[in-house]
Amino acid sequence: MVEPARLITLTTAQWQQLTRWARAATTPQRLARRARVILGSAAGLGSRRLAQQERMSRTTVQRWRARFMAAGCDGLQDRPRCGRPVVLPPTTRALVIALACERPAERDVPLSRYSLSELATPQFTPILQSPRTSSGEAPIRAVTSAVGTTSRGRERRTDIS
C-alpha cells in the first residue's frame, strides 16, 4: 500500500520566502515552480494534483518535497553543476583588466575603446595566452564580467578584487 505524503508545515519566514519566489516577476521560473509545489503541498494538495498543475512528473514533485523537507528553502536552489571552472592565472587576469581599462591610443590602435572581440584578436593573444587558458573571448569575458568592467573599459562597480 502506498503511504500518503507527509503534510509540510511552513514557518512564517518560509511561507513568506516561498510566496515571494512564486509571485516575483524576476524569480527564475524553475525556482518559482518549486516554490509553488511546496506552497501547494503545504496547502494539502497531493503530489498527483501538484504534478498536473505544474506540468511536471510526480517524481519531480516528490523530489522537491523531499529536498525541502531536508534543507528548507535552501534545498530548492539549484545545486552546483559539474564542469571545469574557468581557470585564469592572476597575471592573465591583471593583464586583461589593464588592457580593458587603458585607452587603445596608448598602443597606437585607431580605436576609442576596446571591445571584447578586439581584445581577443591575435594582436593580444601572445600577451593574454598562458598554457592554462583558452583563446578567444571567453577568458576575457570571464574576467571583465567578474571584475565589473564593461567591454568599453568602464567600471560598473567599485568592488574590484
Share of the chain above pLDDT 70, in %: 68
pLDDT at 103: 79
Q: What confidence tier does 145 reach under pLDDT thresholds 50, 70, 90?
A: low
Q: Supply the pTM of this predicted model.
A: 0.54
Summarize pLDDT for 104-144 with one digit per residue, the tens. Answer: 777 777 777 777 777 666 666 655 555 555 555 566 666 66
Listing DSSP states for the chain in one string gives: -PPPPPPP---HHHHHHHHHHHH-TTS-HHHHHHHHHHHHHHTT--HHHHHHHHTS-HHHHHHHHHHHHHHGGGGGSPPPPPSPPP---HHHHHHHHHHHHS-GGGGT-S-SS--HHHHTSTTTHHHH--TTS--SHHHHHHHHHHHTB-TTS-BS-S---
